[in-house]
Amino acid sequence: MPSLKEIRNRITSVGSTMQITSAMKMVSAAKLKRAQDAVTRMRPYAEKLQEILGNLSASLDLSENALATDRGTGKILVISITSNRGLCGGFNNNVIKRTNQLITQEYPNSDVKILTLGKKGKDAFRRSEMFYTSPETDRVPDIFADLTFENTTILAEAAINGFLKGEFDRVFVVYNSFLNAASQVVKVEQMLPTVAAERETDIAVDYIFEPSKEEIVEELIPKSLKILLFKALLDSNASEHGARMTAMHKATDNAKELQKNLKLSYNKARQAAITNEILEIVGGAEALKS
């Protein structure tokens, strides 16, 4: 049985850990609010852009566009989005696991390259021969240090240029989609070749185009791809803070329960020690009498 001093040290250690996890929970909650607001503002714009593109594609043949050309699945780029830090439950492991599943189960015979956004993903794949980097992606070594549309554009253009040059036949994005603070869902979205969004209704929308439909589509498709990647990064950023807040909340609760059990053990051990001392005193007194 551990001594009273050892139990006291453990109680102190658990208390310090509980203070840290509680502080991390509050920090993540504050960051989550800002990240969630960013996602909320972005989604209507992205959805409306896809709606316009869907209405345009209904009357145009997008297969003639270079970014919509289906060349098969010979060469694939997977953009895997993780976080820079841990202590967020299964957030990073779920993305890494889904990325490996996509490669080994769905495209086992393809030449796959992995572009990692986030240090945890980089640590997982950096020693793999599939790890991908380029002078363009090296311009943004840490996207989450400055998560802006301008930096996202650099990364999106690297994927677009690689597709146009024939380096990749497919580009996928694997990331955590934000539902709420306690729920994140790992999604795999095809970025290239672009697929025309389905129209939600069959009601014809009469637009006046200036310039022509074809020119507008040429501008909209690259922009929609950049928005797709930016939205995935914002979703992942919000999901990270939500996952960390939930993980730290559970860690704090577990620390409280452990501290409670340790205090109970300490009181029992202290009571046993006092009882032993009383017995020794009584035994000594009886020995003197005899």
User: Residue 242 has what pLDDT?
Assistant: 96
Partnered with residue 188 across adjacent β-strands are 174
Around Cβ 61, how many Cβ atoms within 10 Å?
9
Partnered with residue 66 across adjacent β-strands are none
CA distances from 269 to 8, 13, 14, 275 (A): 11, 19, 18, 10
Residue 169: which of 38, 23, 66, 282 has the closest Cα?
66
**Is there a contact between 110 and 73 (Cβ–Cβ < 8 Å)?**
yes
Instruction: Give phi and psi for 72, each to the nearest 5.
Output: 90, -160
The DSSP call for residue 102 is I
Percent of the chain with pLDDT over 90: 70
Q: What is the mean pLDDT of the chain?
A: 90
By annotation, the residues acting in catalysis are 88
**Is there a contact between 231 and 194 (Cβ–Cβ < 8 Å)?**
no
Instruction: Give phi and psi for 176, each to the nearest 5.
Output: -90, 120
User: Residue 113 has what pLDDT?
Assistant: 97
- Predicted confidence band of residue 59 (pLDDT cuts 50, 70, 90): low
Instruction: Report how far residue 252's alpha carbon sits from residue 267's, in angstroms, rounded to the nearest whole number.
Output: 23
Instruction: Report how far residue 78's alpha carbon sits from residue 60's, in angstroms, rounded to the nearest whole number.
Output: 29
- 36-48: per-residue pLDDT in tens? 999 999 988 988 8
Instruction: Report how far residue 159's alpha carbon sits from residue 174's, in angstroms, rounded to the nearest whole number.
Output: 14
- 257-270: per-residue pLDDT in tens? 999 999 999 999 89
Residue 221: which of 195, 190, 189 has the closest Cα?
195
Which residues have C-beta within 8 Å of that of residue 153, sequence separation ≥ 6?
226
- 85-99: per-residue pLDDT in tens? 999 999 999 999 999
**Is there a contact between 175 and 98 (Cβ–Cβ < 8 Å)?**
no
- 65-87: per-residue pLDDT in tens? 788 888 999 999 999 999 999 99
Q: Is the pLDDT of residue 138 over 70?
A: yes
- 192-206: per-residue pLDDT in tens? 998 765 555 555 566
State the pTM of this model.
0.88
Instruction: Report how far residue 7's alpha carbon sits from residue 3's, in angstroms, rounded to the nearest whole number.
Output: 6
Q: Tell me the domains of the chain and their CATH numbers.
A: 41-246 (3.40.1380.10)
Most confident of 157-171, 186-200, 273-287: 157-171
Instruction: Report how far residue 259's alpha carbon sits from residue 276's, in angstroms, rounded to the nearest whole number.
Output: 25
